[in-house]
Amino acid sequence: MGRCALKLYSKSAKAEDTNLTKRVLLLALLVTLLLLFMLSEQVQTLILSFLFPSEGRYTHSRKTILQMTGEHIMLTLLATALAATVGVLIGIAVTRKGGQDFQILILRLNAFIQTFPPSAVIILAYPVLGFGWKPALLALFLYSLFPILGNTVVGFQSVAPEIKESARGMGMTALQQLWIAEFPQAWPMILTGIRHSYILNLGTAAIAAVIGGGGLGTIIISGLALRNSALVLSGTIVISLLAFIGEQVFLLLSRFTRT
C-alpha cells in the first residue's frame, strides 16, 4: 500500500515538474517573440506587409512600438499595483470584526462603479485631472479594484473556522492570526483577482491615448483614423503577447507561492 502511494506521488510530482517546464518554455518563447517584434522595425514591416501588402505604412510616424509598449506597461502595472494595495487592505478591513458592518456597503459601491464604462470615468476625471495619463490611471484603478476587493473578501470568508480557532488557541495575536493563519489560505483567491485586474487593465489602457496618456492605444487609434489595418494589428499583437505573458507569470507565481 505504501509503495503504491509512493509511486502515485512520484508520478504526480513528475507530471507537475513537466507542466512547470512547459510553462517556463512557453513564457520564454512569448517573451522572445515580443522582443523581436518590439525591437526590430524590419520584423514588424515583414509581418505586417505580408498580412496587409496594400498598406503604405507599417510603423508609427512619431513613436516606436517600444516606447508605446513601455508607456502601456507602466500604466497597467501602476494601476494594478494601486488597485491591489487598496483592494487587499479594504478587503481585510471589512472581513475583520470591526468592519463587517461596512462589507455590503463597500461591495455595492464598488459594483456600482463598474456600471460606468472606462471612457465615462475618463471624461468625468478630465476636468479635474487634466490632459494626460492621470485620468486614465484613475479609470483603470477604479475598474480593476473590484476583482481584487471582491476576491479578497471571498478569500478570507472561505478560511475554515477551525483554522482561525486553532490560531487563537495557540495564543496568536490578531495580526499574527491574519498573516500566518488566514492570509496563506486566502492568497490563491487574492492572486486570481490581481491576475484578472492585470488583464483588464492591459486591454483598457488603450483608452489612455484618447486623452494623451500614451500607450499602445496611440498606434491603434492612429490606425483607425487612417483606416490602416496594419497599424491597428501592430498594437493588438503587442497587447495580446503581453496578456499571454502576464497569464503565464501569474500561473508560475501561483505555483511557487502555493501553501
Res 91: pLDDT: 92
> Residue 14 burial (CB < 10 Å; 0-12/13-18/19+)?
exposed
User: Between the ranges 51-65, 155-169, 229-243, where is the mean pLDDT highest?
Assistant: 229-243
Res 14: pLDDT: 66
pLDDT at 122 over 80: no
Res 8: pLDDT: 47
pLDDT at 124 over 80: no
User: Between the ranges 11-15, 187-191, 208-212, where is the mean pLDDT highest?
Assistant: 187-191
For residue 174, give Cα distances in angstroms to 8, 86, 127, 178. 40, 20, 44, 6
pLDDT at 6 over 50: no
Res 4: pLDDT: 54
Q: Higher-confidence residue: 17 or 8?
A: 17
pLDDT at 259 over 60: no
Contact 245, 29 (CB under 8 A): no
- SS3 for the chain is CHHHHHHHHHHHHHHHHHHHHHHHHHHHHHHHHHHHHHHCHHHHHHHHHHHCCCCCCCCCCCCCHHHHHHHHHHHHHHHHHHHHHHHHHHHHHHCCCCCHHHHHHHHHHHHHHCCCCHHHHHHHHHHHHCCCHHHHHHHHHHHHHHHHHHHHHHHHHCCCHHHHHHHHHCCCCHHHHHHHHHHHHHHHHHHHHHHHHHHHHHHHHHHHHHHCCCCCHHHHHHHHHHCCHHHHHHHHHHHHHHHHHHHHHHHHHHHHCCC
Q: Domain map of the chain by residue range?
A: 22-37+61-256
- pTM value is 0.88
Q: Higher-confidence residue: 102 or 80?
A: 80
149-203 tens-digit pLDDT: 989 999 999 999 899 889 888 989 889 999 999 999 999 999 999 999 999 899 8
- Alpha-carbon distance of 205 to 10, in angstroms, equals 44
Looking at residue 208, its amino acid is: A
Res 3: pLDDT: 56
pLDDT at 135 over 70: yes
83-113 tens-digit pLDDT: 999 999 999 999 988 888 888 888 788 778 7
pLDDT at 7 over 60: no
Q: Which residue in the block uniquely carries the three cell numbers 520584423?
A: 43
pLDDT at 219 over 90: yes
pLDDT at 9 over 50: no
- CATH second-level architecture of 22-37+61-256? Orthogonal Bundle (1.10)
Query: Mean pLDDT, the chain, as a whole number?
Result: 87
- Alpha-carbon distance of 113 to 109, in angstroms, equals 6
Average pLDDT score over residue span 112-134: 76
Res 151: pLDDT: 92
Res 189: pLDDT: 94
Res 148: pLDDT: 93
Q: Higher-confidence residue: 34 or 209?
A: 34
